[in-house]
Structure 1
Amino acid sequence: MTSRVVVLSAPSGGGKTTITKALLARRPDVGFSVSATTRRPRPGEQNHVAYHFLTRDEFARRRDAGAFVEWAEYAGEWYGTLKSEVDRVLHSGKHVVLDIEIQGARQVEQRYPAPQSIGIFILPPSAAAWTERLLGRGTESPVALARRLEQAIAEIRQSRTWRHIVINDDLDRAVEEVSKIIDADGAIPHRPHGERVNNLVEELVREADRLRHGA
């Protein structure tokens, strides 16, 4: 088996983290890269388990030294994937899965060109299901939610360009589809048939725009 860097990307609330956790639970040949961040730990989060919590100076030092595969700023905090984390999993003989946003995914593709990396975009099944997931968190201010929705609109529109798309309408099926893409080394494009993706993208963009103006 050749170890791959598997990137799961999705708009906020798309379910990529849930799929990642299920994939890790079902496949011993898949490992997870612990991300780094400058934000403060939340209650119950352990350093080096939930995240590598770094000071801004330490993050900047590592970034400037080329230690990150990808990094981005969100809501005033920095997030990134350490190359040492990716290498740790790859050297163990496992595929490494990254749960990151589109901006980071593009950086990973440049660092690990296909077929070494496999990018998979996760779409929620409908605007109604997505809204329920997104608003069900109840952890963000209206301003933060509006900013997240604006980013989601751009990400959803870009999903059409991805080689592999999985619609997260059923967790077991979504995990199975992701597994098949990995097992095929990403060689076979995986996209829903017909106009389903285009119609779903337009539906989600309309809903995000509606929520953004109401947030």
Structure 2
Amino acid sequence: MLAERRGLLIILSSPSGAGKSTLARRLMEWDPSLSFSISATTRTPRPGETDGKEYHFLGVDAFKKMVANGEMLEHAHVFGNFYGSPVGPVREAIEAGRDVLFDVDWQGAQQIRTSELGGHTLSIFILPPSITELRRRLISRGQDAPEVISKRMQKSWDEISHWDSYDYVLINEDLEATFERLVSIVKAERMRRPQQPRLRDHVRALQSEFEEEGEA
């Protein structure tokens, strides 16, 4: 039995401090059926992390085998470890009509858009209102040392420079207003023709009915 609709691969990207994580959390509170894609990684589990919850922890050989077999939607080598998004669970969610949320950079977003499930992607980039405000938000979080904040700021322009490869771009000046726009986008994209698998059968039924009336 076909689902009422196909799920979306919702990609959220932004430089650190632009509000992406907060918006993702709010989006999942708005619709609890949304789920985060659980990434696979070759790094060692940290204390308290559970395989299959925070990450799928794999050995390097197993990870590379999945990549070679086309079992990763996207993958990257970051700070000495491999990270990637297994395609199997995402494919199952899409066919069941469940949306999957991805927190990836522009390179990961590009790989997902060109994957076998690329036709079901919705990519959204979050821009800060200014670089000054971006720096202020990073400092006010109180999570990073000054040198880490400096590195994040240096990386931010490279991320921002790819803004025009996304379907939608939101300037996060006001969190509530930005969240309302984000919800409007998701609602509209869920109604796109490729997301509605029952449409073709319905049109065929209409055609048959039309032809029967024409013969009467």
Task: State the TM-score, normalizing by the size of structure 1.
Answer: 0.74
Matched residues in 1 for 2:80 and 2:136: separation?
26
Structure 2 unmatched ranges of 5 or more: 193-216
Partner Cα separation in structure 2 for residue 186 and residue 151 of structure 1: 33
DSSP 3-state at the match of 2:124? strand
Q: Which amino acid aligns with 1:31?
A: S
Offset, 1:39: 2.1
Residue 157 of structure 1 corresponds to 161
RMSD: 2.5
CA distance in 1, matches of 2:80, 2:149: 14
Deviation at 1:139, TM superposition (A): 4.2
Of the three residues 6, 9, 17, the one matched with 2:10 is 6
Q: What secondary structure, in the 3-state scheme, does the structure 2 residue paired with 1:184 have?
A: helix
Matched to 1:113, the amino acid is: G
- Structure whose CA Rg is larger: 2
Give the corresponding residue for 1:60. Answer: 64
List runs of 5+ in structure 1 lacking aligned partners: 189-215
Aligned 1:182-201 pairs, distance under 5 A: 182-185=186-189
Aligned to 1:71: 75
Which residues in structure 2 correspond to 1:1-215 (within 5 Å)?
Answer: 1-111=5-115, 112-114=117-119, 116-135=120-139, 136-139=141-144, 142=147, 148-185=152-189
Deviation, 1:109, is 0.8
* SS state at 1:103 partner: helix
TM-score by length of 2: 0.74
- Residue correspondences, number: 186
Structure scoring higher RCO (CA < 8 A, sep ≥ 6) equals 2
The alignment partner of 2:114 has SS state of helix
Paired residues of 2:135 and 2:153 also in contact (CA < 8 A): no
Q: CA deviation at 1:158?
A: 1.5
Cα gap change, 1:78/1:12 in structure 2, threshold over 3 Å: closer, same or farther? farther
Q: Does the aligned pair in 2 maintain the 1:29–1:93 contact within 8 Å?
A: no
Q: Could you list the per-position Cα deviations for residues 8-60 of structure 1 after superposition, in whole angstroms to 9, with x for gaps in the alignment?
A: 11112322222112111111342221111122333333221111122222211
CA distance in 1, matches of 2:113, 2:177: 26
